[in-house]
Amino acid sequence: MRISQNKLAYIEEAGLMFEKLGMTRMTGRVLGYLLVCDKDAVTFDQILETLKASKGSVSNSTRQLIQIGFIEPVTFPGDRKTYYRMSDIEIDEILRNRMKLFSDFSSVLAKGRSVKERDDAVSKWLLEASVFYSWVESQIDEVIERWQQEKESIMNQHLEKKS
Amino acid sequence: MRISQNKLAYIEEAGLMFEKLGMTRMTGRVLGYLLVCDKDAVTFDQILETLKASKGSVSNSTRQLIQIGFIEPVTFPGDRKTYYRMSDIEIDEILRNRMKLFSDFSSVLAKGRSVKERDDAVSKWLLEASVFYSWVESQIDEVIERWQQEKESIMNQHLEKKS
DNA sequence: TATTTTGTTCAATACATACTGAACTTAGTA
DNA sequence: TACTAAGTTCAGTATGTATTGAACAAAATA
């Protein structure tokens, strides 16, 4: 049973997307495959074959994805293979991680201000920008909390809109 | 008048930060220099010398930064040089641009669901995740609006906290 | 018009890093 | 214990792209 052309195309798309997000293309492909494979779990070999990639490359990608928490290894008694499947990671986790970039960015801006030797329009901008980014970060925390509380209702609202 | 060691170190830091954000290191350096140079505007040559980079590289970086709107060229009558300075870009603009990634990400997730041939836990996750990201995007729009309205009071709150 | 100054363009290079493939480790099976 | 299967590691290669530097363009000056 070979995988559909559709899905292969999707896997490539996922690879490019994850590359844009700063991960490797191959890691994106493996995740894309796990997302759309329509199997409960897949073996290392299945990944190899489907993506036509090397063992080493797949080994790196699975490790990275496990580390981030996107996927998890599964094993079965009487079967020495390791299977991989999507873990039931909460989506807001992923966002929360990415938001760390904001506080880094905010710090760099703040530090810039401290390096300056005169107080000018740029100083003012640096202050404002660093406050803005750390404020936004705190607001996003609140947004995420609201999501957790109102998830069902938001989902329903969204589905209604489509009909 | 040579630039301080402090500032040079900061410029490198800015380079690394902007590299993390997907721009080139040199572009980050040029922006870092413009931020902390404590001059109203600097010439192409000053950038060259300070960063010890090539004309081509600086030319690329300034063009890129002008394009994004971070810096602007300035000229003066009787002076054939072009000067560059920070433009008074609104910080929320920058955030708004980055948020486009979210709708892209959301689309990829939604597309993944449409490629699947069975309705399982992953399908459910894909739906939830794509709704989540487009919802978050809309929430951030609201956050930005609130910033525009309450900017002064937020800044004051922040400054009080520090004291 | 010839010359000098300022900045751009583009082919070549340098650099970083993702990927490969072979050798190795680990653990189950005979 | 020897053998086989599954996955990892790592040195080398391939690939993409940032940077350089030389040649060029544009425009002011003499």
- Across the interface, which of B104, B134, B158 has its CB nearest the CB of A17? B104
Where do the structural domains in chain A lie, given as residue ranges? Answer: 5-86, 91-162
| CB contact B162 to A (< 8 Å) | no
Question: Between residues 53 and 82 of chain B, which touch chain A (CB distance below 8 Å)?
Answer: none
> What count of other Cβ atoms lies within 10 Å of the Cβ of residue B144?
19
Q: What's the CA gap between A39 and A74, in Å, rounded? A: 13
Which of B135, B144, B146 to mutate to probe the A interface, most A CBs <10 Å?
Answer: B135
pLDDT reported for residue B163: 66
* Tens digit of each residue's pLDDT (9 = 90 or more) over B68-90: 899 998 887 788 888 999 998 89
Query: Is the separation of the CB atoms in A73 and A83 below 8 Å?
Result: yes
pLDDT over threshold 80, residue A84: yes
B11: distance to nearest CA of chain A, Å?
9
Burial call B14-27: b when 16+ CB within 10 Å, e when fewer:
bbebbeeeebebbb
Q: Which pLDDT score is estimated for B26? A: 93
Per DSSP, B40 falls in state S
Tokens of B59: 């030319």
d(CA B77, CA B143): 43
Structure tokens belonging to residue B62: 């300034």
A27-78 pLDDT tens trace: 999 999 999 999 999 999 999 999 999 999 999 999 999 988 999 999 888 8
Contact A133, A106 (CB under 8 A): yes
Alpha helix segments (H runs only) across A69-162: 91-98, 100-115, 121-162
Q: Residue B32 in contact with residue A112, Cβ under 8 Å?
A: yes
B115 touches chain A (CB under 8 A): yes
CA distance to A138, B108, B132, B136, per residue, from A151 (Å): 20, 21, 9, 12
**Residue A130 Cα, gap to closest chain B Cα (Å):** 9
- Residues A136-145 have a mean pLDDT of 95
- What b-and-e string marks burial along A14-44, b requiring 16 or more CB atoms within 10 Å of the CB? bbebbeeeebebbbbbbbbbbbbbbeebbeb
> Which positions on strand C lie below 7 Å from a protein C-beta?
5-11, 17-23, 27-29
- Give me the count of residues in chain A: 163
Q: Which residues of B touch A146 (CB under 8 A)?
A: 139
| Residue pLDDT tens, chain B, 163 long | 689 999 999 999 999 898 888 888 999 999 999 999 999 999 999 999 999 999 999 999 999 999 889 999 888 778 888 899 999 889 998 898 888 888 999 999 999 999 999 999 999 999 999 999 999 999 999 999 999 999 999 999 988 876 6
Q: How far is B4 from chain A (nearest CA, A)?
A: 9
* The CATH number of the domain covering residues in A5-86: 1.10.10.10
A94-131, pLDDT tens digit by residue?
898 888 888 999 999 999 999 999 999 999 999 999 99
Q: Do A147 and B135 touch (CB under 8 A)?
A: yes
* Cβ contact B54 with chain D strand, < 7 A: yes
Q: What is the pLDDT of residue B162?
A: 67
Question: Looking at the C1' of nucleotide D6, which residue has the nearest alpha carbon?
Answer: A81
Q: Could you tell me which residues come within 8 angstroms of residue B61 by beta carbon, excluding any fewer than 6 positions away?
A: B24, B26, B27, B29, B30
CB-CB neighbors (< 8 A) of A110 in chain B? none
Establish whether the CB of B26 is closer than 7 Å to any nucleic acid atom in strand D. yes
| Contact in structure between B155 and A128 (CB atoms under 8 Å) | yes
